[in-house]
Structure 1
Amino acid sequence: MSKIVVDTFLTVDGVMQAPGGPSEDREDGFAHGGWQVPLLDEAAGALIGEGFAQIEGLLLGRKTYDIFAAHWPRVTADHPDADAAQALNTWPKYVASRTLTGVEWQNSTLLGDDVPGAVAKLREQPGGEIHVMGSGDLIQTLIRHDLVDEFRLMIFPVVLGTGKRLFADGAVPAALELVQSRTTPSGVVQCVYRRAGEVAYGSFELAD
């Protein structure tokens, strides 16, 4: 079976919006775009590279697809990100959208109206890791339908106070198991979590 991995850059307060630049996503007046860039040290870059080596496909929401499709095919062979561009342009890409009627980026496929059903079928196919990048709205759908096998979170030491969060209000309660944690010199923490069933509850209240 394939594995669905949510691969996300986060602030300490859980914001995932526009890590890579001021114009990446200004929705709702977000003014902090590019918050990740000054904190991306060499060690964090190496961790990202390790993750790239495990990807066999991408699962993208419409907004992230539009951003990626407008950027990565334009990266030239002499650009520092040429290797990443080659991978992103080559991987199969599965796009969830209620508004797009077609996708032109190389190796891209629309999932159709039943996104949870289509993703469930992707998980059943032989293969490796299919990563979700960005795509906040899509992630909420996947969480609601218990379709995320692993959360690979890279948490940067900054607090923004506003912006789209990975676990938005109304996220389905779920227990997680921490299977890996690494820290870089600039204070970036990479945590890998897997689903661990239902949330357990207890109490510190004293008995009467």
Structure 2
Amino acid sequence: MTRFVAYISMSLDGRIADADGGTSWLADHGGGEEGDRGYAAFHGAADAVVMGRRTHDGLREAGPWPWRGVPAYVITSRMLDPKREMILPVLPDFPGLGRQLRRQDYGTVWVVGGGQTLGAALQAGMLDELRLFVLPVVLGAGVPLFSMEGLPRPAVLSGHRLWPGGVVELLHSFDAGPQAKP
């Protein structure tokens, strides 16, 4: 059974990047004595990845591709170089992509990206679980966790954990299927 999961950090004021789109503020809360807060295990468990074009481009510029041998579906309407790794460009049709990936029966699909990608995935029923790390910093401006229009999606808090340095992990589950519009 395919499960769509996001693993992401945000500031106390709900920002996943600063006003310039940067994430250098995350380095101040890198895990310390407790290591990576489960990141390596989560990363290694992804059977496929879905991301937006900006996230793809940023990862390409940052260094070696982090998901060797894992299909990466990049939401884009522009050309990209799919010859490298297992990068699969797909048009921005989240409901259609969700159905396709469920038919392919991936175990864990990691939804990676910014507020637009996460918001569209949530609205399309492509977000079953959110592992959210709230860092003790206020940015004041920047990229919100979700950028979306339409009806809200109910979430259930299914777990939590306090990490060193004041980082709080919240595990939320979302109801099945896309939110119906009236």
Q: Which amino acid aligns with 1:54?
A: A
Q: Which amino acid aligns with 1:73?
A: P
What residue in structure 1 maps to residue 11 of structure 2? 11
**Counterpart selection for 2:54 from 46, 50, 63:** 63
Q: Contact 2:94–2:124 (CA<8 Å) still a contact in 1? A: no
Q: How does 1:135-150 map to 2 (within 5 A)?
A: 135-150=114-129
Greater Rg by CA: 1
Identity across the alignment (%): 24
The answer to whether the aligner puts 1:38 opposite 2:28 as a matched pair is yes
**Counterpart selection for 1:105 from 63, 66, 84:** 84
Which residues of structure 1 form unaligned runs of 5+? Answer: 19-28, 75-84, 198-208
Aligned-residue offset at 1:124: 2.9
Q: How far, CA to CA, are the matches of 1:73 and 1:114 in structure 2?
A: 28
More strand by share: 2
Q: How far, CA to CA, are the matches of 2:115 and 2:161 in structure 1?
A: 24
Q: Which amino acid aligns with 1:114?
A: D
What residue in structure 1 maps to residue 104 of structure 2? 125
Q: How far, CA to CA, are the matches of 1:128 and 1:138 in structure 2?
A: 20
Q: How far, CA to CA, are the matches of 2:92 and 2:28 in structure 1?
A: 39
Distance change (3 Å), C-alpha of 1:133 and 1:116: same
Q: How far, CA to CA, are the matches of 2:143 and 2:16 in structure 1?
A: 6
What residue in structure 2 maps to residue 195 of structure 1? 174
Distance change (3 Å), C-alpha of 1:169 and 1:116: closer
Aligned-residue offset at 1:169: 5.8
Q: Contact 2:114–2:145 (CA<8 Å) still a contact in 1? A: no
Distance change (3 Å), C-alpha of 1:32 and 1:138: closer
Which residues of structure 2 form unaligned runs of 5+? Answer: 177-182
Q: How far, CA to CA, are the matches of 2:161 and 2:10 in structure 1?
A: 15
Q: Which amino acid aligns with 2:10?
A: L
Q: How far, CA to CA, are the matches of 1:110 and 1:32 in structure 2?
A: 25
Distance change (3 Å), C-alpha of 1:61 and 1:180: same
Q: How far, CA to CA, are the matches of 2:89 and 2:21 in structure 1?
A: 31
Q: How does 1:86-97 map to 2 (within 5 A)?
A: 88-97=67-76
The 4+ residue runs of structure 1 with deviation greater than 6 A are none
Q: Contact 2:16–2:23 (CA<8 Å) still a contact in 1? A: no
Aligned-residue offset at 1:128: 1.1
**Counterpart selection for 2:145 from 138, 152, 166:** 166
Distance change (3 Å), C-alpha of 1:98 and 1:58: same
Aligned-residue offset at 1:35: 0.9
Instruction: Provide the alpha-carbon RMSD of the alignment.
Output: 2.5
